[in-house]
Amino acid sequence: MKALVIGASGQLGGALVRALERGGIEAVGTYHTRPLPGAVALDVSDADAVERCLAASSPDVVFVTALTRGGVDYCEDHPDEAHAVNARGGAHVAVAAARRGAKVVYYSTDYVFDGTAGPYAEDAAPRPISVYGRTKWEGEEAVRALAPRHLVVRTTAVFGWDRTSKNFAMQVWERLGGGQPLRVASDQWSTPTLAEYLAEASVRLVQLDAAGIVNVAGKDRMTRSELGQALARAMALDPALIVAAPTAELGQRASRPLGGGLTTTQLERLLGTEPLDLNESLKRFRRAWRADTHVVHAPAVVSSDAARLKQEILERVRRYHALAHAPRPFVPYKTRVQYSGRVFGAEEMTNLVDSSLDFWLTLGSYGELFEQKMKRRLGAHDFVMVNSGSTANLAAVLALMSPLLDEPLRPGDEVITPAVTFPTTIAPIVHSGLVPVFVDCEVGTYNVNPRLLEGAVSPRTRAILVPHTLGIPCDLDAVSDLARRHRLYLIEDSCDALGATFRGKPVGTFGDLATLSFFPAHQMTAGEGGGVVVNTARLGRVVRSVRDWGRDCWCATGESNTCGRRFGWQLGDLPLGYDHKYTYSTLGYNLRPTDLQAAIGVAQVDRLTEFVETRRRNFERLYAGCEPYQDFLVLPARDPRAQPSWFGFPLTVTNGLQRGELVRWLENANIETRQVFAGNILRQPGYRDIRHRIHKDLTETDRIMRDTFFIGVYPGLTEEMLEFVIARFDEFFARRSGRRVVAPPDATG
């Protein structure tokens, strides 16, 4: 299915795009007055433009969420514009969609009624009392008359956390957050509807091919002032600042249907479950609010003693960080020059404590924010946080074996991968019954040799899994071309390489999936933690299912009935209405991290650019220091297409120099060294007897295992440390050549 969302830059339009993508449905969006990256400009009042848009996008379903620039009162003052958008715009879409056999979903409102007999069912007679209500009713009638395949969704009092929107929740936030009271109608009744729920229920109705008029609204009926107070409490604002007043005193330009709201009996019958109540809606709203306001700080108004105490605690944490984690002086030979380590500031500690005070121990609002930040940072379709880089690899492999895919991997299928690797890159392949096909690597890049890939393909080959070793991008031109020509799944193990690019594009965004690690040795840390980068729409839901026990349900922790159909599903051989929260559509595990880990990651990702640039500077300093010794050291290779995000500074000894000799010299000076992970994985005791195939030989792999090591470039290294390291290389090679070396004055080793 392919969907066109008209008005994707609005609150409901944005929620629809997200809901469609979560369901693996391709979505194209349009905008009018507010540009949206990736969306198409469209004025629905222009019939020719609508025709061209549908011809270009060829949708199966068109969601019409477009609204006039202002709200109800704006329509009252601009009736021609309201008619052009709400009525004629709906008609234009209906005509263009009918020509192509596409379904039209048109969004309307309880403002088509006069408010004397609410809440209203679908068969109630419309009697609008405002321009907005009248033009929406006219739009309904046009769609029903002109689009044979249509669905009119009536809703009311739609709210959600969306800073670009003027919805009621954002009005409450802006006014109360600034300490200002907000006068709200005490006599306007509605059934408030969370935008995300409205979108998700709409997608389900389309999947059920529902037609006619269907009310989609919240379960609870209340006044606007009661809703305002509930929203204030959800955002830790003072509900007393919501001043209840009769509509007659508010000076609103357009008449409102006072006794509004919608019944949802038909919706319940179609979805098999009750609509979202206000309590569940506010839980979801609060998660979105918290995720955003961890970046843009909450207003200065603090409404409770607990909130004031929390602010005091966090301020003391900042002071503690300044005292307890102040930089320590470097003492040559005594201070350990680590190959990696944690680099963090006060923000990481305050986020961690903030999360602990909420005591939301499982993945929560910090996790959502972290996933959003990583998704935006990489420009990926989705990003799924897990509890380690190793389980990221496991989740990626299992996702490609899921029965939710049309062409999943199956036991016995082959996966091409290099023999220089990390063990948990290979373990998921082996445990899943897949067969690793090992290819030799290159000294200098320590990645798979791209010239050998083509010959490794056999009729059983279905995937390729390539690490970007030590932060050096592998030849993604060759790898991507191989995957495309042979229709192979591609997984990038990018655990070492966050921040690297190839031809200007982030590493991790070339394959179907990619994996990341946030162990302290990597470019950024969450203590433990990892993630799966999703670059193919259909895989997002699959990866989340694998991470979340294999369940079909996509509700966040602590939430129920996100789909609006919790007891209305019929899947597999389960009884009709079996609880969707306990329905499992693929093999999975609990691979979820905690919100405490995500809280650290939220602060770390903001420093990622700084971290990567520092690693590059440190690398260049070490490269210049080791350049004179290329008779004995193979320095890292440089590819003009790639910009590495250095995990370490790798060196391979040559011309008779023994690795152990140089490594012992450095370690005796307290300079930490590491070897390239497992080296030749097939020589490791746990991997000697695994089922596998080797393409040609692993000569260079064995050389890397025998002769290669690396030292650190991480941001915690100071200029003094780097100079000390270079001086030790100078002294080593001077002694080896028989030249006299004078030790530095501060040397005590």
Report CA dihedral (332, 610, 352, 340) to the nearest 10 degrees: -40
**Per residue in 116-159, pLDDT tens?**
999 999 999 999 999 999 999 999 999 999 999 999 999 999 99
Instruction: Find, among 144, 31, 28, 154, the residue nearest to 94 by Cα.
Output: 144
Is residue 741's pLDDT more than 80? no
Segment 689-716 shows an average pLDDT of 97
Q: List Cβ neighbours of 333 (8 Å cut-off, separation of 6 or more).
A: 669, 670, 747, 748, 749
Q: List Cβ neighbours of 406 (8 Å cut-off, separation of 6 or more).
A: none
pLDDT on residue 365: 82
Report CA dihedral (576, 582, 586, 590) to the nearest 10 degrees: 180
Confidence category of residue 297, pLDDT binned at 50, 70, 90: very low
Segment 658-683 shows an average pLDDT of 97
Mean pLDDT of the chain: 92
Calculate what percentage of the chain has a pLDDT beyond 70. 96
**Per residue in 596-622, pLDDT tens?**
999 999 999 999 999 999 999 999 999
Segment 386-409 shows an average pLDDT of 97
As a whole number of angstroms, the distance between CA 155 and CA 132 comes to 14
**Per residue in 162-173, pLDDT tens?**
888 889 999 999
Q: pTM for this one?
A: 0.72
Instruction: Find, among 692, 672, 688, 731, the residue nearest to 339 by Cα.
Output: 672
Confidence category of residue 303, pLDDT binned at 50, 70, 90: very low
Is residue 745's pLDDT more than 90? no
If one compares 582 and 743, the residue with the highest pLDDT of the two is: 582
Is residue 284's pLDDT more than 90? no
As a whole number of angstroms, the distance between CA 642 and CA 494 comes to 14
As a whole number of angstroms, the distance between CA 467 and CA 447 comes to 7
Instruction: Find, among 646, 715, 339, the residue nearest to 497 by Cα.
Output: 646
CATH fit for domain 2-293, picks 3.40.50.720, 3.30.10.20, 3.30.450.20, 1.25.40.340: 3.40.50.720
Q: Which residues are catalytic?
A: 522
Confidence category of residue 179, pLDDT binned at 50, 70, 90: confident
Q: What is the CATH number of domain 346-550+587-604?
A: 3.40.640.10
pLDDT on residue 4: 97
**Per residue in 453-467, pLDDT tens?**
999 999 999 999 999
If one compares 687 and 369, the residue with the highest pLDDT of the two is: 687
**Per residue in 66-114, pLDDT tens?**
777 778 999 999 999 999 999 999 999 999 999 999 999 999 999 999 9
Fold matches, 2-293 and 346-550+587-604? no
**Per residue in 550-572, pLDDT tens?**
998 877 666 677 666 788 887 88
As a whole number of angstroms, the distance between CA 623 and CA 614 comes to 14
Confidence category of residue 188, pLDDT binned at 50, 70, 90: very high
Is residue 746's pLDDT more than 70? no
pLDDT on residue 299: 38
Q: Where are the domains of the chain?
A: 2-293, 346-550+587-604, 551-584
